[in-house]
Structure 1
Amino acid sequence: MNERTQARVERMGILRIKMPDIGEGIAEAELVEWHVAVGDPVQEDQVIASVMTDKATVEIPSSVHGTVVSLGGEVGSKIAIGSELVRMEVSGAGNISEEDATPEPVASEPVGAHAASPALEAPMPDPKAEPVPEAAAKASPAPVARPAVVAPTGGASAPRAEGEKPLASPAVRARAKEAGIDLRQVQGTGPAGRISHADLDAVFEKGAGQGGGSAKRGLAADTSVKDIKIVGLRRMIADKMTASKKHIPHITYVEEVDVTKVEELRATLNKTKRDDQPKLTLLPFLIKAVVLAVRDEPVVNAIFDDEAGVVHQYGGVHVGMAVQTPTGLMVANVKHCEARDLWDTAGEVNRLADSARKGTITRDELRGSTITITSLGALGGLVHTPIINHPEVAIVGVNKMQIRPMWDGREFVPRQMMNLSSSFDHRIVDGWNAATFVQRIKQLLEEPALLFMEG
């Protein structure tokens, strides 16, 4: 070992940053993105990895300054709580041997689950080294798992160093990738140069102002094949849909609904609402109708535990709301809809939808629904066959509205019509109960005054 290497080794040490306890009894999480690579310099509090559990993305920050020596897994692998996430070379952490300082290969499989241990392991000392003072021997605090959030816009950050990986949430990265934007060229306005959705909006506006367009190119056969690994939210959606179709015998019931009156009422309420009240869409009315229809058919507001053979029938109505986001479909939970009025429901729907699209929604807001509503109405389509949000037993699907001629007994008149496509778990919900439930929703939407007659 030459003098230069010896001096470097004496100044450096190896710390293992372990997968922290995310809480709620979770034993492992899926690694969905590395924000660093081997050899990258890392600052304290810089995000090093994003993991996912229960459809919520959590970012893991570094608790030390250092250089990445090795990574504890590859994207798509499961990382057990307490297992090694990243190995860091840090300064002032004690003496180590030259062999210990050599980076190890990146593990292709996550390290198996261990007993609970600190998220940051102390450096590996050389037995021949001088004792390290007690104060210096204390390990830095463990990294804290934090939900992915969008940084507020503000003053411009310092220029990004050459080769430095930009900081951004998974939702921002997905949106940028879809738009073909290189985040390394985007100026982040958040802390430490973090890029937010507002920063992407600024890029879009700038591009539109400059006038886009490119020269016409000749058409050529495209023979490329792109392999996309299914990880993160996309994999969770795939697993959820597979479980639902595998275990649940679906029955889908379709009914047309005359929404002329409820649309007229909605327009009137929006014209006369206070400034502090949210704009009403059809969804709060539909949620209200579902709440009242559940009173007649409580069997649809339930969770079926397949393994235990037990149906958990709920008194409170917690409506799952399917939200399409840049990273995939999420089901946000509008809790205790039976205790909300139209305006309160509309406000909560808007808040959850916005949080889901920005990637700031919490795990608690994505779980606990007892019946789900999904809508493809904005995209058109007369009928669809929605898949039940397992382990629920019912889902109500909304199709597009359109004006159609309807016979009123004397003549054809134009009416605003919409189909409801609703699926039920036929193990729990009989066809009669499914039809009765949907017909009650139809009645309430066609005569919206009934929505306000609680008795």
Structure 2
Amino acid sequence: MGTHVIKMPDIGEGIAEVELSVWHVKVGDMVVEDQVLADVMTDKAMVDIPSPVHGKVISLGGVPGEVMAVGSILISIEVEGAGNYKESAQPAAAAVKEAPVAVAPKVEAESKPVATPRPAAACQGPMVAREADERPLASPAVRKHALDLGIQLRLVRGTGPAGRVLHEDLDAYLAQGQSNASAPVAAAYAQRNDEEQIPVIGMRRKIAQRMQDATQRAAHFSYVEEIDVTAVEELRAHLNEKHGATRGKLTLLPFLVRALVVALRDFPQINARYDDEAQVITRLGAVHVGVATQSDIGLMVPVVRHAEARSLWDNASEISRLATAARNGKASRDELSGSSITLTSLGALGGIVSTPVLNLPEVAIVGVNKIVERPMVVKGQIVIRKMMNLSSSFDHRVVDGMDAAQFIQAIRGLLEQPATLFVE
């Protein structure tokens, strides 16, 4: 038997160090080639570190949240044969064995389920007894799913890495006929004194840093306008009925992207990036629209490149593809960088007004709120119309208030008269 040492790889782009976000294995686990061992976080994206060998994990070289230099020892694996461990590397090998062993992180938003080989015992029945104040490992999506189903996660056996509860564990729990209703009613009113400390690491740390940086550096101001989207919604429904089966269904987002593209022709100062250190504003001809997307590991902004050269269905398809990649943690660094303006939508969750934070170095972000039916006065008559607010923020160092207001008014005019979206 030999030892195969895996070092932190050079991820490119001149990156000298990365943050170890989460381990998907622990000491003693058997791993196979191409199995994901850990996730590391660069300035732009989460990156999977796969195993190049089959073997048994004998030590881990860091703990989640630790910033590690490229080339430092990440993990050592016992393998058949000689491995890549050399006698001359004895001091390094000793350092590997003395490296701190990572414990299962309590930050659910930092990891995603991985198909890791597990002992047979981990695949027993789905119900497990935990203490009332014990918080089982699970992603936010799994927690919400459990809440919707009325399941207490502490009663569900987790079959993921480190006992993490997966969606299929909830299904297995339901299949056995276990439910929250079987618990004593008094348990719902039991006094709780538990606390949980969650380290801010990985994607959550990057999000916190970027949001803090944006609010400290940019001079934010927000502008909210109400838009009558009755006509564009009627057009969307008509196009979906006529072409949905062959071209795919359209949401409102590709119409908004199209409105951005057309409106920015008259407001090039808004499709821009501001380098405040160099004191240089770069106006772009291309419209690269960032689409804010919530994932299990946090907020990500994949980029629809050259939206100005795409049709409605092309934009819709690209938005869907990128959102799926982001939610699955598969978006590449290139797909998560380079936007010139960002579109963010909380409409599906409700809310009539928001104050979105700029995605630096951009100077504008357009926020979409929910659509509601309201009585409106149109040509002296009270009629029911579909209304929606746009809540948008701008960097006042670059964008004047009048320009921002006129830009949003231009978007309003395009959406309220949707034929103008396609008139050249």
Q: Partner of 1:59 in structure 2?
A: 48
Is the counterpart of residue 363 in structure 1 residue 352 in structure 2? no
Cα 1:438–1:390 shift into 2, 3 Å: same
Alignment equivalent of 2:191, drawn from 221, 225, 233 = 221
Q: Partner of 1:351 in structure 2?
A: 321
Alignment equivalent of 1:31, drawn from 13, 17, 20 = 20
Partner SS, residue 217 of structure 1: helix
Instruction: Find the aligned partners of 1:42 and 1:182 in 2 and give their Cα distance.
Output: 28
* Cα distance, 1:92 vs structure 2: 3.8
Count of residue pairs brought into register by the alignment: 387
* Cα distance, 1:287 vs structure 2: 0.6
Q: Partner of 1:422 in structure 2?
A: 392
Is the counterpart of residue 305 in structure 1 residue 275 in structure 2? yes
Q: Partner of 1:136 in structure 2?
A: none
Are the equivalent residues in 2 in contact too, given 1:72–1:85 (CA < 8 A)?
Answer: yes
Alignment equivalent of 2:374, drawn from 404, 408, 413 = 404
Q: Which moved more, 1:90-99 or 1:277-286?
A: 90-99
Q: Partner of 1:106 in structure 2?
A: 99
Cα 1:260–1:360 shift into 2, 3 Å: same
* Cα distance, 1:176 vs structure 2: 4.5
Partner SS, residue 226 of structure 1: coil
Gaps of 5+ in 1: 1-11, 110-147, 165-170
Instruction: Find the aligned partners of 1:396 and 1:449 in 2 and give their Cα distance.
Output: 21
Instruction: Find the aligned partners of 2:306 and 2:20 in 1 and give their Cα distance.
Output: 33
Instruction: Find the aligned partners of 1:163 and 1:70 in 2 and give their Cα distance.
Output: 22
Deviations 1:254-288 (A, max 9, x none): 11111111111111111111523121111111110
* Cα distance, 1:450 vs structure 2: 0.3
TM-score (norm 2): 0.81
Q: Partner of 1:382 in structure 2?
A: 352
Deviations 1:392-414 (A, max 9, x none): 10000111111122222413222
* Cα distance, 1:233 vs structure 2: 1.1
* Cα distance, 1:22 vs structure 2: 1.6
Instruction: Find the aligned partners of 1:76 and 1:440 in 2 and give their Cα distance.
Output: 45
Instruction: Find the aligned partners of 2:95 and 2:319 in 1 and give their Cα distance.
Output: 52
Are the equivalent residues in 1 in contact too, given 2:60–2:101 (CA < 8 A)?
Answer: no
* Cα distance, 1:231 vs structure 2: 1.0
Are the equivalent residues in 1 in contact too, given 2:158–2:166 (CA < 8 A)?
Answer: no
Instruction: Find the aligned partners of 1:184 and 1:396 in 2 and give their Cα distance.
Output: 43
Alignment equivalent of 1:79, drawn from 44, 64, 68 = 68
The code of the aligned residue for 1:105 comes to E
Are the equivalent residues in 1 in contact too, given 2:157–2:169 (CA < 8 A)?
Answer: no
Instruction: Find the aligned partners of 1:443 and 1:95 in 2 and give their Cα distance.
Output: 70
Q: Partner of 2:133 in structure 1?
A: none
Deviations 1:403-434 (A, max 9, x none): 12222241322211111111000000000110
Q: Which moved more, 1:424-433 or 1:274-283?
A: 274-283
Q: Partner of 2:251 in structure 1?
A: 281
* Cα distance, 1:35 vs structure 2: 2.4
Q: Partner of 1:241 in structure 2?
A: 211
Cα 1:208–1:163 shift into 2, 3 Å: closer
Gaps of 5+ in 2: 103-110, 124-136, 147-152
Instruction: Find the aligned partners of 1:162 and 1:362 in 2 and give their Cα distance.
Output: 36
Instruction: Find the aligned partners of 1:401 and 1:83 in 2 and give their Cα distance.
Output: 51
Cα 1:360–1:404 shift into 2, 3 Å: same
Instruction: Find the aligned partners of 2:273 and 2:97 in 1 and give their Cα distance.
Output: 47
> Considering only CA atoms, is the larger Rg found in Structure 1 or Structure 2?
1
Q: Partner of 2:302 in structure 1?
A: 332
* Cα distance, 1:55 vs structure 2: 4.6
Cα 1:72–1:151 shift into 2, 3 Å: closer
Are the equivalent residues in 1 in contact too, given 2:261–2:287 (CA < 8 A)?
Answer: yes
TM-score (norm 1): 0.76
The code of the aligned residue for 2:226 comes to E
Instruction: Find the aligned partners of 2:217 and 2:291 in 1 and give their Cα distance.
Output: 22
Q: Which moved more, 1:290-299 or 1:93-102?
A: 93-102
Q: Partner of 2:150 in structure 1?
A: none
Instruction: Give runs of aligned pairs for residues 37-52 of structure 1, distance below 5 A.
Output: 37-52=26-41
Are the equivalent residues in 2 in contact too, given 1:294–1:300 (CA < 8 A)?
Answer: yes
Are the equivalent residues in 2 in contact too, given 1:13–1:95 (CA < 8 A)?
Answer: no
The code of the aligned residue for 2:319 comes to V
* Cα distance, 1:89 vs structure 2: 4.4
* Cα distance, 1:101 vs structure 2: 6.5
Are the equivalent residues in 2 in contact too, given 1:149–1:360 (CA < 8 A)?
Answer: no
Are the equivalent residues in 2 in contact too, given 1:55–1:233 (CA < 8 A)?
Answer: no
Instruction: Find the aligned partners of 1:250 and 1:384 in 2 and give their Cα distance.
Output: 13
Instruction: Give runs of aligned pairs for residues 159-170 of structure 1, distance below 5 A.
Output: 160-162=119-121
Partner SS, residue 228 of structure 1: coil
Instruction: Find the aligned partners of 1:177 and 1:259 in 2 and give their Cα distance.
Output: 35
Partner SS, residue 301 of structure 2: strand
Is the counterpart of residue 315 in structure 1 residue 308 in structure 2? no
Instruction: Find the aligned partners of 1:183 and 1:67 in 2 and give their Cα distance.
Output: 28
The code of the aligned residue for 1:429 comes to V
Q: Partner of 1:452 in structure 2?
A: 422
Cα 1:236–1:101 shift into 2, 3 Å: closer
Partner SS, residue 212 of structure 2: helix
* Cα distance, 1:182 vs structure 2: 9.6
Are the equivalent residues in 2 in contact too, given 1:256–1:418 (CA < 8 A)?
Answer: yes
* Cα distance, 1:161 vs structure 2: 4.4
Cα 1:395–1:339 shift into 2, 3 Å: same
Instruction: Find the aligned partners of 1:403 and 1:149 in 2 and give their Cα distance.
Output: 39
The code of the aligned residue for 1:215 comes to P
Are the equivalent residues in 2 in contact too, given 1:288–1:337 (CA < 8 A)?
Answer: yes
Partner SS, residue 331 of structure 2: coil
Instruction: Give runs of aligned pairs for residues 146-157 of structure 1, distance below 5 A.
Output: none
